[in-house]
Amino acid sequence: MALKLMYITNNPRVASLAQSSGVDRIFVDMEYIGKEERQGGLDTVKSHHTVEDVKNLRKVLNKTELLVRVNPIHEKGESWCSSEEEINAVVEAGADIIMLPMAKTVDEVKKFTEYVGGRAKTMLLLETAEAKENIKEILDIGGIDMVHIGLNDLHLSYGMKFMFQLLTDGTVEELCKIIDSYGLPYGFGGIARIGFGMLPAEHVIAEHYRLGSSMAILSRSFCDIYKNDNMEEIQMLFEQEMAKIRQYEKELSLKDKDFFTENQKETARLVELITEKIKM
């Protein structure tokens, strides 16, 4: 089964091009509360998209699902509305899937599912040590439709150097098995273009297949519109690079167990080399 690939953008033209190239979900990222404090020193995407972006993208998406990451569960403050108000606005704007980040407790997830109230699909972004330790209790409450394991914040919560250490130390595999036991689709991390990435995309995609993952985020490096805003070039990139991923997936579907075992070993070797070079 081909991975459901997600791309983060609030640009309707880019979203339309991604849709026509076979991207499965356009990802609107409204999360900003507490994000700068957590990731201020890292080269990560801090988008702070808005409800208006959701409305604008809804107008151009007719095949690709519209996924919206809201803020962590919070009360109304001086600079923002409450979680319930935010989720209501996102539902009314046309979100197909709503993602909850940074959850730590069963109560937070329960509030999230109650606020959504079955009006959209729900995705838990599992990215805290607390959620990892409480994952069974969290999933026992019901109301979650899918889970994405967020390697970036999760590796920070464990004080690790490199997010893919979670892939090679058994953490991701353990979580995948638990989530799978609940019959829920799951995914983890992001992937670059074929042949690119600090950890090359081919190794990561093969690990998705070994672990039964069904979704992944296309990383910023897959198509960085902040470095290139030429729409013709962006369209060509999406068409070519999506085709390469889908072709590689077809090849993976024909591989035997030994291939995935060797890829797992090579991935671990590469992650160890990368980690040794990273300065904390």
Q: How many Å apart are CA 235 and CA 135, to the nearest integer?
A: 39
- Give bridge partners of residue 188 from the DSSP assignment: 149
Q: What is the mean pLDDT of the chain?
A: 94
Contacting residues for 191 by C-beta, under 8 A, at least 6 apart: 5, 197, 201, 204, 205, 208, 216, 217, 218, 219, 222, 245
Instruction: Name residue 43's amino acid.
Output: D
Instruction: Please give the share of the chain, as a percent, with pLDDT higher than 70.
Output: 95
pLDDT at 229 over 90: no
Structural contact between residues 205 and 165, judged by C-beta atoms closer than 8 angstroms: no
Strands of the chain, DSSP E? 4-8, 25-29, 65-69, 97-100, 121-126, 146-149, 186-191, 215-218
Q: Please give the average per-residue pLDDT across 187-198, as a whole number.
A: 94
**SS3 readout for 149-162:** ECHHHHHHHCCCCC
* Eight-class DSSP state of 98: E
217-227 tens-digit pLDDT:
999 888 877 77
pLDDT at 40 over 80: no
Write the DSSP symbol of residue 22.
T
Phi, psi of 161 (to 5 degrees): -85, -35
Q: Report the C-alpha gap between 63 and 13 in whole angstroms.
A: 15
Pairing of strands 215-218, 25-29: unpaired
Mean pLDDT of 212-216: 98
How sure is the predictor about 101, in pLDDT bands with cuts at 50, 70 and 90? Answer: very high
The C-alpha atoms of residue 65 and residue 92 are separated, in whole angstroms, by: 15
pLDDT at position 228 over 80: no
Q: Which residues contact 244 (CB under 8 A, 6 or more apart)?
A: 193, 194
- Measured at the CA of 200, the angle between CA 199 and CA 201, to 5 degrees, comes to 115
Residue 272: other Cβ atoms inside 10 A: 12
Tokens, residue 23: 């991207």
What value, to the nearest 5°, has the Cα angle with vertex 118 and ends 94 and 32? 55
User: What is the reported pLDDT for 279?
Assistant: 78
CATH 3.40.640.10 fits 4-277, yes or no: no
